């Protein structure tokens, strides 16, 4: 039976953010994409995402991949259903906790969304894409349509959910399943140092950089990300691969230049 791959979108994302990756993996896994548009907390997002995999039978591998805000939902799933998850990928995300300073920034973003939604969308999408992709009209237009499909109300609800997320760093430090941490090399939204911190926190985590990508890695470099997720899926159930249970410092790997 194919492994099940649960993909969780990020803030300002519909399920479309994962579509290019899902298309490349559907022959290798039963791919399911969560919805994060209606909930008012990361906990609720995780709970709704879990409903999508509640029917996975015992003996079928379950891999979870969370992008950006979806990474926080994936962390919450590990806190509540960790024993039933066989591997996890964190894409352009972090385990950093909310601070007074970051809360102020989020309040400013909410104010900008309320004041002029379209202008905020334009600034956000260009900031989140690699500069080389600003001239890619198809990618820019698709990102813009997705953000407008989410809308101001849902985006504001997501921002507020971020401010109340739990701190699960202690749990992550005890995690002993295959973990892949992926980050666009030019990510300005969740900069690479946050992925480095996340990978260093989790025993045995594998850290991969994706070149020519900003924050919107699933849309900017779907083939590269799909191949990395495929390598994670291949690890699950492999008798030759054993998670590091020693608590030693994790090994860090980087992709070759593409």
pTM: 0.90
Residues listed for the chain: 258
In this predicted structure, what is the pLDDT of residue 237? 56
10 Å CB burial of residue 56 (0-12, 13-18, 19+) is middle
In this predicted structure, what is the pLDDT of residue 1? 82
In this predicted structure, what is the pLDDT of residue 161? 97
In this predicted structure, what is the pLDDT of residue 42? 98
Is 3.30.420.10 the CATH number for 1-258? Answer: no
In this predicted structure, what is the pLDDT of residue 222? 98
C-alpha 6/C-alpha 37 separation (Å) is 16
Beta-strand (E) ranges in 125-223? 179-184, 206-210
Which residues 6+ apart lie within 8 Å of 256 measured at CB? none
Per residue of the chain (258 residues), give pLDDT as tens: 899 999 999 999 999 999 999 999 999 999 999 999 999 999 999 999 999 999 999 999 999 999 999 999 999 999 999 999 999 999 999 999 999 999 999 999 999 999 999 999 999 999 999 999 999 999 999 999 999 999 999 999 999 999 999 999 999 999 999 999 999 999 999 999 999 999 999 999 999 999 999 999 999 999 999 999 999 999 985 433 333 323 332 322 233 222
- Which three-class secondary structure state does DSSP give residue 246? coil
């Amino acid at each position: 039976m194919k492994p099940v791959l649960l993909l969780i979108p990020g803030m300002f994302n519909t399920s479309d953010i994962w579509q290019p990756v899902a298309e490349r993996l559907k022959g290798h896994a039963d791919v399911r994409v969560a919805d994060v548009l209606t909930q008012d907390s990361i906990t609720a997002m995780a709970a709704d995402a879990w409903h999508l995999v509640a029917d996975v039978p015992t003996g079928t591998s379950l891999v979870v991949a969370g992008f950006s805000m979806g990474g926080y939902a994936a962390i919450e799933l590990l806190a509540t259903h960790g024993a039933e998850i066989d591997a996890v990928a964190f894409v352009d995300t972090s385990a950093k906790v909310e601070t007074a300073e970051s809360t102020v920034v989020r309040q400013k973003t909410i104010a900008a969304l309320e004041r002029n939604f379209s202008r905020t969308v334009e600034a956000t999408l260009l900031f989140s894409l690699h500069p080389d992709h600003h001239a890619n009209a198809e990618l820019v237009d698709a990102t813009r349509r997705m953000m407008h499909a989410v809308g101001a109300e849902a985006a504001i609800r997501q921002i507020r959910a971020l401010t109340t997320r739990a701190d699960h760093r202690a749990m992550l430090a005890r995690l002993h399943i295959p973990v892949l941490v992926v980050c666009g090399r030019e990510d300005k939204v969740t900069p690479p140092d946050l992925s480095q911190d996340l990978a260093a926190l989790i025993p045995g985590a594998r850290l991969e950089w994706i070149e020519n990508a900003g924050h919107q890695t699933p849309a900017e470099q779907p083939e590269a990300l799909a191949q990395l997720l495929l390598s994670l899926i291949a690890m699950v159930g492999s008798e030759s691969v054993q998670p590091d249970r020693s608590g030693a410092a994790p090994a860090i790997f980087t992709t070759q230049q593409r």
